Amino acid sequence: MDRLTLIAKTGASITDRSNGRLAVVDIEDSRSVTVRGFIINGVVQCGAASVCYLTGNTIQAGGVVVGTGSRAFLESNVIQDGSGSTASDGSQMFSSNDIFQGNGQGVVLGSGTYFEASNSSFLNNGVGIVAAASNLLLHGGTISGSIGNGMTILAGSTVIFRDGTTVNGNGGAGVHLEDASFAGFQSATVTGNLSGLDVDCAPQFTITHFVARTGGITNCIEPTSAAKLKAVE
């Protein structure tokens, strides 16, 4: 179904009756489908090369699943108390002014995916963002209050920080990198995370650039850095 828009009346909700076995909203092989203003109790799925727009919803006790080459555009949603948002299999997810809170993981990115966030917040999740073999671009926003790391970047992933992203107050590292992953800190503040390291490079061929701009404590080594743990100046 193409060019479909569903707009909720105030307080309208959609609730899963399958106890998590099925998505409560399932968009497949569809172009330009918009879901706006609902309270959604369960999983919203965007699959089979669909183009999905989720705007102003509260999605809880489930999350958003984007897969198989689909593109999802999230704007001003609250995604909470579930599994957060997941993108996989070459899909793309764009987030603007969303709040991901109280989830096991705020956002999870799998192989070949692209994620771009503008002024979105990742608050009080198990981990704010987990990425493997994917690309991320963060414009502003906050990652804070995670039980574990603010971000865990794995398997050759690339993350670029722009426009004053803040990563602080997480129980683990602010940004943890492994396995030839790359982090570029064009503009970010990564400080006050509780593991003792704000930007943590595991000894597995990690790469960082401009890490000194974060203002935090790091063990990452750049060509001009001394090979020892120090507070970034």
Domain segments of the chain: what residues?
4-223
The residues facing 54 across adjacent strands are 35, 74
Question: What per-residue confidence (pLDDT) applies to 231?
Answer: 58
Non-local CB neighbours of 201 within 8 Å, separated by 6+ positions: 177, 208, 218, 219, 220, 221
Compute the distance between CA of residue 193 and CA of residue 177 in angstroms, rounded to an integer: 15
Q: What's residue 202's pLDDT? A: 87
Q: What is the distance between the alpha carbons of residues 192 and 22, in angstroms, rounded to a whole number?
A: 40
According to the model, what pLDDT value does residue 180 have? Answer: 87
pLDDT at 217: 87
d(CA 225, CA 233): 11
- DSSP letter (8 states) at residue 70: -
Does residue 214 sit in helix, strand or coil? helix
Q: Report residues of the chain scoring pLDDT below 50.
A: 225-228
**CA distances for 149 relative to 58, 125, 132, angstroms:** 25, 9, 15
Residue 212, SS3 per DSSP:
helix
pLDDT value at residue 227: 42
Contacts of 9 (CB under 8 A, 6+ apart): none
- Residue 226 has a pLDDT of 43
- Is residue 128 within 8 A of residue 108, CB to CB? The reply is no
